[in-house]
Chain A
Amino acid sequence: MGKTVLIVDDSNTMRKIVSRALRQAGIDFSTILEAGDGQEALGVLEANQVDVILSDINMPNMNGLEFLKAKSENPAIKDIPVVMISTETGADIIDEAKSYGAKGAIKKPFTPDLINETLGALL
């Protein structure tokens, strides 16, 4: 059975770009789910089996750090690996993301090779 990825980003453009980069990276997800912010992502995780999450940080309603914190407090989903994809990759922010369980960070702009390298270790 193929794997499922959840892409969390308020930009529809970036969700499309990340999906395309996953295909270009040769990572064969059977299902690509999308959410526009952290709150929506929690809803998607309640209703679906997800193998890995790629999440932006700077989002309205519930940002990426708030999403990570909420996810870490829910035993049913806390172990799903998350990689942050963001323009915000300063040490302070990444340290905070890792304290809530993020497994890595990819800075925008990114290349398919970088996505492959980062996700390859988690799948």
Chain B
Amino acid sequence: MEHAQHIIESTQEIFSSMVMLEVTPGEPFVRVDEKLVNSISGIVGLAGTTKGMLAIHMSNAAALAVTTAFLGMEVSEIDEDVRDAIGELANMLAGSLKSVLDPSGGDIKLSMPSAVYGEEYSIDCLANAQAATVPFSFDGMNFMVELQLRKDS
């Protein structure tokens, strides 16, 4: 849970400066155990001395609202623009957290962002990983940012 505060700071900065939305953090918890329903997740993998993933999970409604604000144009279905936008948010979050975990930039590699979406799915990354998840809300909608990490000794 030590990374929850980094997640909160990075997410608020990215949403405020790039998406023009003020998001409010809720109480952090360890990991997303329940299945995600009618949702989309942007995911970036971490490899190197620290392995894991950074994921942002949004309901379809939240993803449409965020993409509309991000691109400055109305978006009404989960299309390529939405998948790209949510993947890019995950990419910026992972980059921001990487700068905390690996200030020199040489120890951790980030994957290209990807997006998963569907009516019902679950995502798991690593056994024995440390995890921290922070829920956020804006305009009556919610999303979660989840970090799973395992540092090689």
Binding site for B on A (CB under 8 A): 10-14, 16-17, 20, 58, 60, 86-94, 107-111
A12 touches B84 (CB 8 A): yes
Q: Out of B80, B81, B104, B110, name the residue touching A58 (CB < 8 Å).
A: B110
Nearest A residue to B86 via CB reads A13
Nearest B residue to A10 via CB reads B112
Contacts of B67 on A, CB cut-off 8 Å?
A: 13
Could you mark each residue 106-122 of chain B with 1 if its beta carbon is under 8 Å from any beta carbon of chain A, else 0? 10001011000000000
A108 to B70, CA, bound (A): 14
Sample of 14 more A-B contacts, CB < 8 Å, known A87-B110, A109-B13, A110-B17 = A11-B87, A11-B113, A12-B80, A13-B67, A14-B88, A17-B70, A86-B95, A87-B98, A88-B95, A88-B110, A94-B105, A109-B96, A110-B18, A111-B17
Binding site for A on B (CB under 8 A): 13-14, 17-18, 67, 70-72, 80-81, 84-85, 87-88, 91-92, 94-96, 98-99, 102-106, 110, 112-113
A111 to B20, CA, bound (A): 11
A121 to B84, CA, bound (A): 31
Contacts of B105 on A, CB cut-off 8 Å?
A: 88-94
16 A-B residue pairs with CB within 8 Å: A11-B88, A12-B80, A13-B70, A13-B81, A13-B85, A87-B95, A87-B96, A87-B98, A88-B95, A91-B103, A92-B106, A93-B106, A94-B105, A107-B95, A108-B18, A110-B18
Contacts of A17 on B, CB cut-off 8 Å?
A: 18, 70-71
Given contacts A87-B110, A89-B105, whether A109 and B18 have CB atoms under 8 Å apart is yes
A16 to B17, CA, bound (A): 15
CB distance from B78 to the nearest CB of A (A): 14
Q: Out of A12, A14, A88, A109, name the residue touching B14 (CB < 8 Å).
A: A109
Contacts of B18 on A, CB cut-off 8 Å?
A: 17, 108-110
Q: Out of A14, A87, A89, A92, name the residue touching B94 (CB < 8 Å).
A: A87
Nearest B residue to A60 via CB reads B112
Contacts of B88 on A, CB cut-off 8 Å?
A: 11, 13-14
B106 touches A90 (CB 8 A): yes
